[in-house]
Each structure stands twice: as structure tokens, then as C-alpha cells.
Structure 1
Amino acid sequence: MKALRAEAEWAPRNGCVPKGRELTERRASSGSRMYRKPVLDIFEVKEPEPGPDELLVKVKYCGICGSDTHVYESDDEGYVIFSGPAKFPCTLGHEYSGEVVAVGREVTGFRKGDIITGESVLWCGTCMPCRYGMLNQCENVELLGLTHDGAFAEYIAVKAKYCWNLNRLHDRFTDEEVLKIGTLVEPIGCAYNGIFISGGGFSPGAYAVVYGAGPIGLGAVLLLKAAGAAKIIAVDVVDERLGLAKRMGADHVLNAAGTEDLEEIIMDLTSGWGADLQVEAAGAARQTVPMMEKLYSRRAKIIYLGRAEALATVELNRIVSGAHSIIGSRGHSGYGIFPNIIRLLQEDRLNGVGEMITSVFPFSGIADAFTTSTKRVDGKILIDIG
């Protein structure tokens, strides 16, 4: 079968000393510190066989995530930009939907013909964080498409415990729409986890600002709207993405590259109160953190979803005085996140979600799709695997 594989050279940066699994498996805790000269290409690989607890899925669609783009891109020294866990060579892709074509003998709850999507955080279920229910902080975690072969492939074998059935969406959407929208559950799940689980939610009527109108930021806008934010302000540097945010439900959109006195404008839009909740989905801490610190309301929250190596200075005295919180969040597993998003989709609570998908490329055109992704003007780019 055909699969998109990423290969890269293992070359720890000066000052970065491999340890643990980095020494034994070349599984980097931060890809941008250990791997350089990435090369992506379609290869012929052996079709996987499902284990007793696995499903064999014929992949229909798979989305290009910012993480995939960051593997494709490299910095001035040739190192991949992706700063999360990585192990190459690896089949990329983790935002997928497809049809179950074979079911392992120990699997219950799934059958051939089911349309499914799946989590990309591959938790073990036995380490202490998992036993506490903190699946996204699993000590033995693998990441689909980054440390474990992923879904830019014609078939994928995946443990049933990571999979979720999309069949109920056929009551609301066409077969094709279910397959496309099914790929969005994963990125929306990251926003859901940050806002409602890691961040503890917000009071309906709150003022919210979202930085970064890529797919996770757009997912945040959809969820904030559904959960009753009184006013949602989206900030980005790309007009096309801001247009999407407006259609997703943002009340105001601001281009940070072309707007002076951005903080004053946001304070005016919130009647001088400031932001109760700020979601950082841009991965641009050096630019966003100084701005966010000027926009706290009272007991305000910053939910940090963007991943980057950059350091940012935080004024702790202001956090103490205002009882503010800065909360990091990774992943989307556990806490009913996937089934709850599927319910929201089924009941049409995420209005306009399909508009997030702005481009669809054939598998044969995946190189062009990745080039397009580096322009950062699309919402979600999908690959039609076939």
C-alpha cells in the first residue's frame, strides 16, 4: 500500500544530550532538538494486519495538522520545526476518518463497515498518570503520525480503545460529509480539552479572545460560541483565516499585523473589562504573552495550546494580584471529549463546522498540499486517500 513517510537525520543539537528513550530508540522528546534535514515522500509499504485488539481501517480522509507542517519545514540549521515528541522514519498523519474493514477477535463495539475516527494520543492505560485518568500525560505515550506510524496511508491498524464511531452523524450529514467532518474531531478535541478540562471551563457570558485562527483556534471559536461566551474576539495575521473565524462565530476579528493599539481595541470591545478567557493557539508566545498580560480581567485564564520552543517572560506579580491562571494543555484523550464533540456535531451545535475545510487534495497531490500548508492561509487541508 502507499504511505507518506517522513525521514530525517538524527543529529542532536550542540548542548542537547540524548537520554532515556532518545538513546535506546532515537525517540526524541523534542524533534526540533534532535532531527534535521527532513524528507517526505510516498513509499510502498506492507499493509498492516490488525492485532486481536485492533481495527483495520481503510483511510478515507486525513488532515494536515500544523505538527505535520512543522515536520516538513526546517529552520536555518536544517532542524525540523516540530518541538514535540518525534521518531523517524514514520508515516505521518493523525487527523483521520475511514471505514472499518477488519475487526480483531477480541474487539467488541465495532464491526465491518463502521465509519470511525480516532485519538492520536496513544496512551498505555497502565502507568500511574493513566491510572489517575490523565491519559494525555501518559508516561509511555506515543503520538500517531509522529512517533508511531500514522494515517497518511491507504490502511491503518489501530487499537479499538482509541477509536470512536461516527455512524450517528449520518442522521445529520451525508456520507461524504461524515467522512470529512470526522477528521475535525481530533483538532476540535484539543481545543475542548484546553478550555473545558485543563482550563476548567468558563462562565456563560464571559469575554473570550482567541489568538491564532488555524484549525485549533477555529475549533476554540466554535466551542466558545456553543458554550455561551458573550463576545468572542479572534486575532491572527492572515485575513483569510480571520474570515473563517468570523464565519465560525467570532463576533470581532482583528489582524495583528495591520492593527495598531490592539490591546486598546480589545479593551474597548470588552467595555474596559478585559478578557476573562484567552486561548493561545498560535504558538507565538513572544508576541502573544505580552499582549495577553495587558488584557486580563479579574481571575482571568490563559489557555496555552500552541507548541513552540520560544521562551516568554511572565509578570508573576500581576498573576498573583489578579488571581489569574496560565494553563498548558496537550491532547484530547479521555474525559468524554471525543464522544461529546460527536454529540455536538450530531445536534448541530457547532454551526458552520464544515466551512473549516478549505482545500481537499488527492493523495497523489500531497506534496502540493504540504507546500500550500506552509502559506498558512487555509483552515483545514484534507488529503483524499481514496
Structure 2
Amino acid sequence: MKVFAADAEWCPRPGWRLSPDEERRRRAESACQIWRQPRFYADERPVPDVADHEVLIRVKRCGLCGSDTHLYETDAEGYVIFSGPARLPCVIGHEYSGIVERVGRLVRDFAPGDPVAAESIVWCGQCPPCRSGAPNQCRRAELAGITVDGALAEYAVVSCQHIWKIDELARQYGDDLLFDLGALIEPTGCAYNGLFISAGGFLPGATVAVHGAGPVGLGAVALAAAAGASQVLVFDLAPERLAIAGQLGASAVYDLNALRAAGVRPSEIVLEQTGGRGADVQVEAAGAAQQTIPEMELSLAVNGTIVYLGRAGHSVQLTLDRLVTGANKIAGARGHSGSGIFPNIIRLLASGKIRLEAMITARLPFAQTLDGIRRSADRKDGKILIQVDNPA
């Protein structure tokens, strides 16, 4: 079968101390400190077998994620800029949908022919966090497409506990769009987890400010609008992404380049639009915390929450007294597993309560995967989908 993979040079930065686990498993906990000079390539692999509790998925669509872009991009020393864990070489791709091709002998709830979407957090189900309802914090968690083989491939093997049927979407969207939207559930699930699980949600009528209109930020826009936010204010550098945010439910969008040229700060906009009250929820989906967090602090409502969804391998200065004075909090979130996240998003899509089609800005055949990754580095697209079932 055809696959698309990434590899890089294992080269810890001078002064970086490897943990015993990193040395033993060749799995970097912070990829930007270890993996250098990445390369991406198409390859041929055997179609994998399935174990008792696994299913073989014939992949239809796979989205390109910011983490794929961050594995492709490097700093001045040639190190990847992705700050999360990574083990290479690895078949990349983790936002995917497809059709069940084969099931293991102990799989009960899935059968060949079922259309499905898959989670990318490979949680074990046995460690204390998993058993306590926190699978995204699984102690043995692997990340599909980053630490274990993913789904930019003709076939992917996954445990049956990590997939969900999406057949009910066909009634609303038809068979072709079914798989496009199935691949959007994973990034939208990250926003859902941050807004409603980690941060505890918000009351209808709240103001939500979203900093960063990439796919996760765009998912937050759609979900916040559907959940009854009175205002959804969106900030980004790309006019193209801001236009998509408007289609997904943003009440106002702001081009950061235009604001800077005018000498206006995002915090000033938020305070102006809320009559000085500030935003009840501030979402960091830009991966630019050093720039966004200070603006959020200055314009956070009393009892407001900062939801941190972006990844960045650096520290941020906080004025903690502001958190004390405003009874504010910061909620971090990783992943999209558990808590009914996938089935709830599927139901929202099936009912038409959220519509995500506008997020899709490119559909490329499998042969153009590398072109898609290069294009993603421009940060102008919403979601670039690879049509894995279209080889040319």
C-alpha cells in the first residue's frame, strides 16, 4: 500500500538532557529539542494485519494538521518547530475518515463497510487517568501520525475503541461530503474539549474571543456560535482565514496586520466590543502565546477563562495578580477523546447545528501530499484535505 511518511535526524540540541525513556525508545518528548533536518517521502508498505480488537480502515480523507506543518518547518539550526512528542520515522496524518475493511475476531460493534472517523489520541484504557475518565492524559498515550504510524496511507489499523461510526452524516450531506466532514471531527474535537470539557463551558450570552483562525480556532468559532455566545470575536493574520471564520459564525473578525498598522491592540478591541467588561472566554489557538496571552490578560472578564489550545515550546510571562483580582483561570487541553466529544460533534453535524464545509479550502490527491504540506506553511488555508482514495 502507498504511505506518506516523515523522518529526521536524531540530534539532541547541545545541553539538552535526554531522559532515560527518550534514549531507550527514541521518542522525543519535545520534538523541537531533538529532531533535526526532517524529510518527507512517499513509500510502499505491506497492508497491515489486524489484532483481535483492531479494525483495518480503507482511508478516504486525511486532513493536514498544524503538527504536520510544524514537523516540516525548521528553525535556523534545522530543528523541527513541533514542540510535542514525536518518534520518527512515522507515517504521518491523524485527522481521517474511511471505511471499515476488516475487523478483528473480538470486535463487536463494527463491520466491514461501516463509514468511520478516528480519534488520534491512542489511549490505553488501563492506566489511572484513562480509568478515571481522562483518556487524553493517558500515561501511555501515543499520537497517531506523530509517535506511531498514522493515516496518510491507503489503509490504517486502529483499535476499535478509537473509532466512531459517521453513517448518520450521509443523510445530511451525501456520501462524498460525509468523508470530508468525518476528517474534520478530530480538529473540531480539540476545540470542543478545550471549551466545554477542560474549561467547563460558558453560559449562553457570553462573549468568546478566538485568537488564531486555523482549523482548531475555526472549530472553536463554530462551536461557540452554536452554544449561544452573544459575540464571537476572531483575530488572525490571514484575511483568508478570517473570511472563513465569518462563514462559521464569527460576529466580528480582525486582521492583526491592519490593527498593528493602526496602532490598535487586540485587547483594546475586545474591551471596546464588550463595553469594557472583557471576554468571558479567550481561546488561544494560534500557538503564539507570547503575543496572545498578554492581550487576553488585559481583556478578560471577571470569572473569565483562558483556554489554551495552541502548542509552543516556550514560556510566557503572566501577571498572576490579574488572575487573583478577576477570579480568572487558565485551562489547558489536549486531544478530543472521551466525554462524548466525538459522538456529540457527529450529532451536531448531522442536525445541521454546526456546518463546517467552509473550513475546507483545498482537496488534493494523494500524489500532491507534499505540495499540500508546503502550502499549509503559508497559513492561509482553513483545512487542506488529502483525498487518499484519489492517487493521482
- Into which bin does the TM-score normalised by the smaller protein fall? over 0.9
What SS does the corresponding residue of 1:179 show, helix, strand or coil? helix
Q: CA deviation at 1:296?
A: 1.1
Match of 1:374 in 2: 377
Report the Cα distance in structure 2 between the residues aligned to 1:242 and 1:270, rounded to whole angstroms: 20
Match of 1:66 in 2: 66
Residue 157 (structure 2) pairs with residue 167 (structure 1): no
Matches within 5 A, 1:276-287: 276-287=280-291
Match of 2:354 in 1: 350
Structure 2 counterpart of 1:71, one-letter code: L
1:325 corresponds, among 311, 323, 329, to: 329
Report the Cα distance in structure 2 between the residues aligned to 1:300 and 1:76, rounded to whole angstroms: 38
TM-score (norm 1): 0.99
Report the Cα distance in structure 2 between the residues aligned to 1:134 and 1:214, rounded to whole angstroms: 26
Report the Cα distance in structure 2 between the residues aligned to 1:75 and 1:293, rounded to whole angstroms: 29
Report the Cα distance in structure 1 between the residues aligned to 2:133 and 2:14, rounded to whole angstroms: 37
Question: How big is each residue's C-alpha offset from its partner over 1:306-355, in whole Å with a ceiling of 9 and x where there is no partner?
Answer: 0001211000011011100011110011000000000101100103x111
Match of 2:388 in 1: 385
Match of 1:360 in 2: 363
Match of 2:268 in 1: 264
Question: How big is each residue's C-alpha offset from its partner over 1:237-284, in whole Å with a ceiling of 9 and x where there is no partner?
Answer: 110000000111100001112113232222111122111100000010
Report the Cα distance in structure 2 between the residues aligned to 1:218 and 1:60, rounded to whole angstroms: 23
What SS does the corresponding residue of 1:195 show, helix, strand or coil? helix
Match of 1:7 in 2: 7
What SS does the corresponding residue of 1:378 show, helix, strand or coil? coil
Matches within 5 A, 1:99-178: 99-178=99-178
What SS does the corresponding residue of 2:257 show, helix, strand or coil? coil
Report the Cα distance in structure 1 between the residues aligned to 2:35 and 2:347, rounded to whole angstroms: 40
Match of 2:43 in 1: 43
Structure 1 stretches of at least 4 aligned residues deviating more than 6 Å after TM superposition: none
Report the Cα distance in structure 1 between the residues aligned to 2:114 and 2:146, rounded to whole angstroms: 26
Structure 2 counterpart of 1:381, one-letter code: I
What SS does the corresponding residue of 1:257 show, helix, strand or coil? helix
Question: How big is each residue's C-alpha offset from its partner over 1:182-208, in whole Å with a ceiling of 9 and x where there is no partner?
Answer: 000000000000000000000110011
Structure 1 counterpart of 2:281, one-letter code: L
Q: CA deviation at 1:158?
A: 0.6
Stretches of structure 1 that go unaligned for 5 or more consecutive residues are none
Counting aligned pairs with the same residue, the percent is 49
Structure 1 counterpart of 2:371, one-letter code: D
What SS does the corresponding residue of 1:218 show, helix, strand or coil? helix
Q: CA deviation at 1:47?
A: 1.1
Q: CA deviation at 1:21?
A: 2.2
1:295 corresponds, among 290, 293, 299, to: 299
TM-score (norm 2): 0.97
Question: How big is each residue's C-alpha offset from its partner over 1:51-103, in whole Å with a ceiling of 9 and x where there is no partner?
Answer: 11111110011000000010111111111111101000000000001011111
Structure 2 counterpart of 1:322, one-letter code: G
Structure 2 counterpart of 1:273, one-letter code: R
Report the Cα distance in structure 1 between the residues aligned to 2:338 and 2:99, rounded to whole angstroms: 23
Match of 1:274 in 2: 278
What SS does the corresponding residue of 2:307 show, helix, strand or coil? strand
Question: How big is each residue's C-alpha offset from its partner over 1:282-311, in whole Å with a ceiling of 9 and x where there is no partner?
Answer: 010111011111101101100000000121
The aligned length equals 385
Report the Cα distance in structure 2 between the residues aligned to 1:6 and 1:177, rounded to whole angstroms: 28
Report the Cα distance in structure 1 between the residues aligned to 2:307 and 2:301, rounded to whole angstroms: 14
What SS does the corresponding residue of 2:49 show, helix, strand or coil? coil
Question: How big is each residue's C-alpha offset from its partner over 1:150-180, in whole Å with a ceiling of 9 and x where there is no partner?
Answer: 0000001111000000011111111000000
2:317 corresponds, among 308, 313, 317, to: 313
What SS does the corresponding residue of 1:172 show, helix, strand or coil? helix
1:340 corresponds, among 340, 344, 355, to: 344
Residue 56 (structure 2) pairs with residue 56 (structure 1): yes
Match of 1:98 in 2: 98
Report the Cα distance in structure 1 between the residues aligned to 2:153 and 2:135, rounded to whole angstroms: 26
What SS does the corresponding residue of 1:243 show, helix, strand or coil? helix
Structure 1 counterpart of 2:365, one-letter code: P
Structure 2 counterpart of 1:384, one-letter code: Q
Structure 1 counterpart of 2:165, one-letter code: N
Report the Cα distance in structure 2 between the residues aligned to 1:150 and 1:21, rounded to whole angstroms: 22
Report the Cα distance in structure 2 between the residues aligned to 1:127 and 1:29, rounded to whole angstroms: 19
